Structure 1
């Protein structure tokens, strides 16, 4: 923008070692991937579900993210990409395929649909590397940090936008992300969250945008009026010069956001844009709402907002602040249900919920942050003796575990590692405690693509969360909860390990079956 704030601190850079198989490991399919459900305008136009119902993939490099997109059966095959570690220029390369259109130096979601990108583990950081959406639909981005993306200097990525959308983009939910820069345009940065050229039905929720000249825009120019239907709620905008956001045409719903230290202007509604602005908290800022830097006026409907130490400039030929006593000059009808927190508690609610790595907490609409319900049922916590028996999953082909070896991390008294490969589900292995691991092993590499974990009759539900690991390399092949069938990409290995990370009581594995297909 016009200047950079000297108080902004540069983010530290990080390096990462590329994981096995370009940092990608296949997980088991899940009926839903993102935590919680889309809100705001992302619920309209058919809704936003991302990769729900598709395969789940773990990636620790940008190249692995591209490989996951390119490995799908088609450009619309649902997929969830769980991201861990630091994604940067050094580990992000173009990957080719019929289901993708990727590029070096940027995470490219181009001409695709039905994708979720979610940070897991200790965190996912896109360092100096932007996320670009173009000609795409039904995308979820959740629980990631994108920092210090530049349009000038070195390295550059995504035109300087942390997340940028353009050219017929539909239904995007960006949730619990942290988007940050270390200065303004003169330092090489552009927008944190930009939408242009026919981008519609987008929600940005529970996110942090900070330390930038430009927060973001809807519409690249006064003639780019094809964008809109965007919701911004429970976000923190902090230490921003302007554009929180800049609206050119279209409709925006802006509620329960916390704005701190906006130096030049805030919500800039222009070129006929209409914004419903309610129950936000503005603090220590200037010109937080109005039409700025143009004579093409925009409109707003205001209610319930708090203006704490906000200053307003005088009106001029290209400067139309809404204050010092903002009043509505339009009405905006919202087509979806939502619950408003009181503006007075917004700073505290946003502090506890917004940004990556905050536990994906949300507000219940009564100023009380909470963890959202899981999108898949949790494992049963009923006592093993009362859990109803379940029908074992069907099998086909030869059980490769019969005649193989077995070992594990520990075993409870009266149980044996060999019981999981004897074909008798009335015998079992249990760890010495509530967690542990059990392995099947062969004398040479054996190709496996499916595992069936069976619990003895009458003990179903004791196994909680687990990981299936290629013991040869340490790569996680799949993860989930509860017993049953597990499928993954065919892998040649000499030892495969079922690692139980949680349980209700003492877990029991009656059979650990392995199959080539």
Structure 2
């Protein structure tokens, strides 16, 4: 594989050939893992930048430079991204093969592009925008806190937004996060409108947002779809999972937790095939809402766990006991996991930096993470992990400091987040399944370089990630519990993410230390 770190000055106008990119090489092997699934795989399929050059970018400007340095706007390219991409390192770049902007990652008037995270790739407050684009793959990235009001603003408040003649897009193993709803300045996490077709969103996390996403910007924007959503984890979303106007969507093996107002909203003739999903602790997860223009659904094998159905004048839920009122034909092959195991398999596989795991269709995860060959432009390796279960760190346990708090992705009945910071080994937190997140947080920036994760029964936790909860950056990863060290980091929240386990973990204490 040929890789080249892009190093032209930020903001410099670039024409094709100004940077010595190695363009199409039939032997080039992209870092993207797997092949497109769902509707992105039909009618020609989605291959992104396969067959073209592979370059490395650590800034938004370098991403734009890579697009602008191609021989043409359709020359295949894979852009490996690492680090944090934000407004401070993203500028508009000009060239014959691109059409970029300073306030977003712009894939406009282009085709045959892959953007793939290598290590931790975080787009912070900076959205990704597709317009008049085709054959695009986005994999293993986090996009967080993109705003349409306040400061800074980007991409109309959408984490990933597509509009105007976009087709064949595969977004895979992405983490899309907001920190509130429209009143806080955010819009959708995954929006498609104005003739966007043949899209798949797979193995992704959509969390903490007022709006999950839409297909169709209004009840007259009906020329979109089809779209596939599978093995995604929606959590703490108010509505639009998705909002489906006029389009066809295949929605299978997704885990929906804490849908606060409504979920899948099929309206204005939209048709949703909803297979083997798991809905938990949610209100009105399926139906036609906020309109008198009905939509339709075909339902099979779904589990509704602690779900409330409430019908009002403009809310027409499909349940209780949803039944099909249409039939949707699917033109591609797929294998369904049983709905009962969907929470566990999705929490193991969905999101960025989870090893690009997928389901084998039998409720088990397979790891297909690529091997990236070392090169002069390879990112700095993850810090080495030191795990010594019996060695107690010295210094003050910052988790016990005044004002320190705790939260997490879920909690099993009878357990509490606060139990991991009460100084007692007799109380504990467990996730609702075998995997989940537990966090310690502070009201002000706190420097942490070492944690001690203490299990009630040692050896249950398998693989893990330690994550900067403020930015989504992975600080380190490994297996087991005990004392874990990493470079000193100033943060307001630190998260221990349990990726796999041999049973239900019981975390008695999540201790944090400055050194």
For the criterion TM > 0.5, the same-fold answer is yes
1:370 equivalenced with 2:277 (yes/no): no
Name the CA shift for 1:373/1:158 in 2 (closer, same or farther; >3 Å): closer
Contact 1:25 1:58 in 2 (8 A): no
Name the CA shift for 1:144/1:337 in 2 (closer, same or farther; >3 Å): same
SS at match of 1:42: helix
Q: Which residue of 1 aligns with 2:221?
A: 224
Q: Which residue of 2 aligns with 1:331?
A: 327
TM normalised by structure 2 equals 0.69
Name the CA shift for 1:26/1:328 in 2 (closer, same or farther; >3 Å): same
Q: Which residue of 2 aligns with 1:4?
A: none
Q: How does 1:364-403 map to 2 (within 5 A)?
A: 364-372=360-368
**Matches of 1:91 and 1:25, distance apart in 2:** 21
**Matches of 2:20 and 2:147, distance apart in 1:** 30
Q: Which residue of 2 aligns with 1:172?
A: 169
Q: Which residue of 2 aligns with 1:155?
A: 152
Contact 1:231 1:254 in 2 (8 A): yes
Matching residue within 280, 285, 291 for 2:282: 285
Once the two structures are TM-superposed, the CA of residue 468 in structure 1 deviates from its matched residue by 4.0
Once the two structures are TM-superposed, the CA of residue 204 in structure 1 deviates from its matched residue by 0.1
SS at match of 1:68: helix
Q: Which residue of 2 aligns with 1:341?
A: 337
**Matches of 1:342 and 1:80, distance apart in 2:** 35
Residue by residue, what CA displacement relative to the aligned partner does 1:203-261 show, whole Å, maximum 9, x if unpaired? 00000000000000000000000001100000000000000000000100000000000
Q: Which residue of 1 aligns with 2:178?
A: 181
Contact 1:58 1:81 in 2 (8 A): yes
Once the two structures are TM-superposed, the CA of residue 25 in structure 1 deviates from its matched residue by 9.7
Q: Which residue of 2 aligns with 1:63?
A: 61
Q: Which residue of 2 aligns with 1:44?
A: 42
Contact 1:215 1:243 in 2 (8 A): yes
SS at match of 2:344: helix
SS at match of 2:156: helix
TM normalised by structure 1 equals 0.68
Name the CA shift for 1:476/1:287 in 2 (closer, same or farther; >3 Å): closer
Once the two structures are TM-superposed, the CA of residue 31 in structure 1 deviates from its matched residue by 3.9
Matching residue within 82, 85, 90 for 1:84: 82
Structure 1 runs of 4+ with >2 Å offset = 18-29, 465-469
Contact 2:169 2:200 in 1 (8 A): yes
Once the two structures are TM-superposed, the CA of residue 33 in structure 1 deviates from its matched residue by 3.9
1:351 equivalenced with 2:347 (yes/no): yes
Matching residue within 306, 316, 322 for 2:318: 322
What RMSD over aligned residues (CA atoms) do the two structures have, in Å?
A: 1.9
Q: Which residue of 2 aligns with 1:300?
A: 297
Matching residue within 136, 142, 165 for 1:139: 136
**Matches of 2:20 and 2:188, distance apart in 1:** 33
Once the two structures are TM-superposed, the CA of residue 20 in structure 1 deviates from its matched residue by 4.6
**Matches of 1:33 and 1:337, distance apart in 2:** 25
SS at match of 1:291: strand
Q: Which residue of 1 aligns with 2:445?
A: none
Matching residue within 186, 194, 201 for 1:197: 194
1:361 equivalenced with 2:357 (yes/no): yes
**Unmatched tracts of structure 1, length 5 or more:** 1-17, 379-464, 470-474, 478-517
Name the CA shift for 1:84/1:25 in 2 (closer, same or farther; >3 Å): farther
Once the two structures are TM-superposed, the CA of residue 476 in structure 1 deviates from its matched residue by 5.5
Residue by residue, what CA displacement relative to the aligned partner does 1:166-197 show, whole Å, maximum 9, x if unpaired? 00000000000000000000000000000000
Q: How does 1:409-428 map to 2 (within 5 A)?
A: none
Contact 2:46 2:170 in 1 (8 A): yes
Structure having the higher Rg = 1
SS at match of 1:41: helix
